[in-house]
Structure 1
Amino acid sequence: MPKGTILLADDDTAIRTVLNQALSRAGYTVRLTSNATTLWSWISQGEGDLVITDVVMPDENIFDVLPRIKKARPHLPVIVMSAQNTFMTAIKASERGAYEYLPKPFDLKELINIAGRALSEPRPSLQPADDDGTDIPLIGRSAAMQDIYRMLARLMQNDLTVMITGESGTGKELVARALHDYGKRRKGPFVAINMAAIPKDLIESELFGHEKGSFTGAHGRSAGKFEMAEGGTLFLDEIGDMPMEAQTRLLRVLQQGEYTTVGGRTPIKTNVRIVAATNKDLQSLIHQGLFREDLFFRLNVVPMRLPPLRERAEDIKDLVRHFFALGEREGLPVKQIQPDALDVMLRYRWPGNVRELENLVRRLAALYPQDTITANQIENELNQISLTTDVQPEQKVQNLAGAMESYLEQLFKEFGDSLPPPGLYHRLLREIEYPLICASLAATKGNQIKTAELLGLNRNTLRKKIKDLDIQVVRGA
């Protein structure tokens, strides 16, 4: 059985009772209090091996007490609980030296596991940032966002390379900036480069700089992004669009910590933190020979997936309020939103994610004279979006998923209390595979090698599917 005394502080009697029972059953001795004064008295007297405490106490905020705890007993682990589940809560807990941050509600088994880890592996304290944290860069209280906040808090005080993945509009650069602005490199520069926005023959020059006369038009020496980001963070956005030649040079930088400019010969040492991002499937690109596997493993030290907005719909209300407030600060009229209008937003799939939501909110604030936004206005705007022809390819894929979801909902409604005939999965799979393979063969003019690469399938697998689906292949058609 584990041993140790836990000091538990929470002003909610029910929470104290439940946690006391769970921790006692796990074999710990538990002392309970409802205020920060008693907790500090116990700690200052040397009592307790672990602290579990709520943030907001009747007499004092625990974030004001944490620095005193870390100064008096630097190796005493403190687990912070909070119902104020924002990004800044997680960051403040980490900055002030908390061992772990747990957003309420949480799983009791998770708490027991963390407590056991904290008692056996106490961590050193972290130095607080200079920023007072009044501007919250990330919005959302959903479970998916809590996972992001906790991961960010753990990454702030190290230089591990991070790979951020997620659909377009989920906020990958915003997360990268938060990682920089609240981390130990915050006094250094944050430099971003979008691989998809730069001509491929200029990417190496943009990244590593070039010397005078190194190519046509190079009239003088030019610093690259690595040099500009020295001592700070370099954000490589859309890394999946980086050409192979540049990938090779980037791999050298990650392996050896140095680079040469285009046309240069002298190696230059570099001290930057790399954060990469992509909305593409890099594993698929690796299989197609378009992305280096060794570079992927160098970049993917800490993978971080940002959830699409449809997976965190409970955050929409907070996001809408936040974007309206930003608009008001920029001079847009003050707006409110009716509950049924919010319901319309909750039902929408948001293929453009948070960026699409922000654009909609700004448009509502700017174009509608009414103080309160109605459901009809939201529906009209969303209908206009669905009729827009300028849709990105990844958004079309998401719209396809939405159409399939609607189709299935209607299908099950038609059968009422009964179910469709058995074999639904294989019937639907055939309906999708047949036109997909036919269209891909048409796009490659019947070239099965290119079709297999396009679909990300093994050539033998593609041949078998063509045979099973009885697809006629015509070369050059």
Structure 2
Amino acid sequence: MPLPTILVADDDRSIRTVLSQALGRAGYQVRTTPTASTLWQWVEEGEGDLVITDVVMPDENGLDLVPRIRRARPDLRIIVMSAQSTLMTAVKATQRGAFEYIPKPFDLKELLAVVGRALATPAPVMIEGSPAEAEERMPLIGRSVAMQDIYRVIARLTTSDLTVMVNGESGTGKELVARALHDYGRRRGGPFVAVNMAAIPRELIESELFGHERGAFTGATNRTPGRFEQATGGTLFLDEIGDMPAEAQTRLLRVLQEGEFTTVGGRQPIRADVRIVAATHRDLRQAIRAGVFREDLYYRLNVVPIRLPPLRERTEDIPLLARHFLDRSAVDGNAPKSLSEDAVERLMSARWPGNVRELENLMRRIAALYPQEIITGELIEQELAESLAEQTQHEPATGTEPLADAVSRHIRQYLAASQDGIEMHDIYDRVLAEVERPLIQMTLAATRGNQIKAASMLGLNRNTLRKKIRDLEIPVVRGAT
């Protein structure tokens, strides 16, 4: 039996060499070319059992070549590689008929595994009518490994109506994932309807979701459609699903099982023609153990889980995100601004408890309030210190709150977090670090990075302060002593 032949198209000679050697060692025959035209010639001549193609090539975009290959040879699997590691690249590659999208730089073991699966799997169906290609409309930004994995999952899900559960901390962009699944999926011609469970009074959730008939309850003067009806033909996004009361959970489970529902006060079943995307910041398994969330509903919703990482787990995306938000602010009418090197370093070292939303707010605030064209690390430090100070002021006070009371309140919140499904460890060290870090940060900000003055204000030896700065990973403004 002849060995499978793999056709590789990439304008980077080093990539062609690496792939040729690795695939050859794995037992495949390999032909490589730097151009799309040669690849297309080979395909037309009936050569090859698998195609690996780059996107950007000197004579044609590899993504534009994918549909032509699929029409000419529907059984030929295609793997798309790209250094343009965006959601749109992954979506377009999948919707045009690629078997898999692999971002550069890639892991050779992973690529070889994908090649093996591709050769053993029937070719995918090409989806006609791809979404608009404007990169500025991308709902998700980031080129980290974590985001690449999410892009690939979203791209695969655009061809199905599977129910998706998005889990992530507040501010990570859960609704953006839901919108991407809708905007680039089969239901993009229908409505996208979002409802936040935590924002609706418990007694009104069933009416909000399923609608009600006239006279169903006091004040129901007309028949009102619920969110399920409003989302017919499209996507229903159930945000903060962990806050849904038990009665509504039971009705939602019935909808997922039977595919139909009745309005409050109604008897006529209504078909539920929607795709469900749910989201939560809670650990629903912990909620199940606590008896506040139905286990059977969890498994109905958690068909495809997507975990959105907090910003602290993808710090390499922070410069790209920050510049994106500054560009958007310029489009909104603010003067164009850029980030200095030390500003980028300071942004990447921050904790970002509010995640991407907090970073966006900071960039928009700076773009609107400061006239300078270049944003410096000192300015970032100042804004972060002020933001941190505002976060500690949970309630307006007529007098100065004792520090012990403020710390006690914060510790109570820490301990209460375990009830929300958040596992807490090493609280003693974490609380000390959380007190020390902002204290030293704000003192350094007040002394404009002068460590001698800061040590004096804190009553510390200068060497002790330096050690704490190092241990707590507190960034220092360049040139300060």
TM range, normalised to the smaller chain? 0.7 to 0.9
- AA aligned to 2:90 is A
Q: Unaligned stretches of 5+ in structure 2?
A: 395-409, 441-462, 468-481
Change (3 A) 1:267 1:299: same
- Aligned equivalents of 2:61 and 2:264: distance in 1? 54
- Aligned equivalents of 2:154 and 2:112: distance in 1? 22
| 1:309 and 2:311 aligned | yes
Deviating more after overlay: 390-399 vs 335-344: 390-399
- Aligned equivalents of 1:256 and 1:40: distance in 2? 48
Cα offset, 1:23, TM superposition: 0.7
- Aligned equivalents of 1:405 and 1:11: distance in 2? 50
- Aligned equivalents of 1:197 and 1:239: distance in 2? 11
1:118-153 deviations in whole A, cap 9, x for unaligned? 011023232144432202221111111000000000
| 1:10 and 2:10 aligned | yes
Aligned partner (choices 165, 176, 179) of residue 177 of structure 1: 179
Change (3 A) 1:379 1:39: same
Q: Is the 8 A contact 2:167 2:306 kept in 1?
A: yes
1:189-222 deviations in whole A, cap 9, x for unaligned? 0000000000000000000000111111111110
Aligned to 2:389: 387
Cα offset, 1:348, TM superposition: 0.3
Q: Is the 8 A contact 2:98 2:124 kept in 1?
A: no
Change (3 A) 1:335 1:50: same
Task: Map 1:241-260; keep pairs closer than 5 Å.
Answer: 241-260=243-262
Change (3 A) 1:402 1:349: farther
- Aligned equivalents of 1:124 and 1:379: distance in 2? 50
- Aligned equivalents of 1:319 and 1:81: distance in 2? 23
- Aligned equivalents of 1:113 and 1:128: distance in 2? 28
What is the percent sequence identity of the aligned residues?
Answer: 63
Q: Unaligned stretches of 5+ in structure 1?
A: 418-477
Aligned to 1:454: none
Aligned to 1:140: 142
Aligned partner (choices 321, 324, 328) of residue 322 of structure 1: 324
| 1:269 and 2:278 aligned | no
Task: Map 1:72-471; keep pairs closer than 5 Å.
Answer: 72-134=72-134, 135-388=137-390, 389=392
- AA aligned to 1:210 is H
Q: Is the 8 A contact 2:326 2:336 kept in 1?
A: yes
Query: SS of the counterpart of 1:227?
Result: helix
- AA aligned to 2:26 is A
Change (3 A) 1:404 1:123: farther
Q: Is the 8 A contact 2:96 2:130 kept in 1?
A: no
Deviating more after overlay: 292-301 vs 373-382: 373-382
Cα offset, 1:246, TM superposition: 0.1
Change (3 A) 1:395 1:346: farther
Cα offset, 1:235, TM superposition: 0.1
Q: Is the 8 A contact 1:349 1:402 kept in 2?
A: no
- Aligned equivalents of 1:109 and 1:313: distance in 2? 25
- Aligned equivalents of 1:341 and 1:395: distance in 2? 34
Aligned to 1:60: 60
- Aligned equivalents of 2:380 and 2:58: distance in 1? 42
- Aligned equivalents of 1:172 and 1:2: distance in 2? 48
- Aligned equivalents of 2:430 and 2:138: distance in 1? 32
Q: Is the 8 A contact 1:91 1:149 kept in 2?
A: yes
- Aligned equivalents of 2:290 and 2:43: distance in 1? 59
Change (3 A) 1:272 1:338: same
Could you tell me the TM-score, scaled by structure 2's length?
0.82
1:403-447 deviations in whole A, cap 9, x for unaligned? 56679999xx98x99xxxxxxxxxxxxxxxxxxxxxxxxxxxxxx
- Aligned equivalents of 2:59 and 2:232: distance in 1? 45
Aligned to 2:397: none
- AA aligned to 2:272 is T
- AA aligned to 1:291 is F
1:62-96 deviations in whole A, cap 9, x for unaligned? 11111111110112110011111111111111111
Cα offset, 1:354, TM superposition: 0.3
Aligned to 1:71: 71
1:173-204 deviations in whole A, cap 9, x for unaligned? 01100110000100000000000000000000
Q: Is the 8 A contact 2:236 2:276 kept in 1?
A: yes
| 1:44 and 2:56 aligned | no
Aligned to 1:452: none
Query: SS of the counterpart of 1:32?
Result: strand
Could you tell me the TM-score, scaled by structure 1's length?
0.83
Q: Is the 8 A contact 2:23 2:30 kept in 1?
A: yes
Q: Is the 8 A contact 1:158 1:184 kept in 2?
A: yes
Q: Is the 8 A contact 1:2 1:116 kept in 2?
A: no
Change (3 A) 1:106 1:358: same
- AA aligned to 2:131 is D
- Aligned equivalents of 1:377 and 1:115: distance in 2? 49
- Aligned equivalents of 1:205 and 1:75: distance in 2? 49
Q: Is the 8 A contact 1:77 1:98 kept in 2?
A: yes
Q: Is the 8 A contact 1:165 1:305 kept in 2?
A: yes
Cα offset, 1:2, TM superposition: 9.4
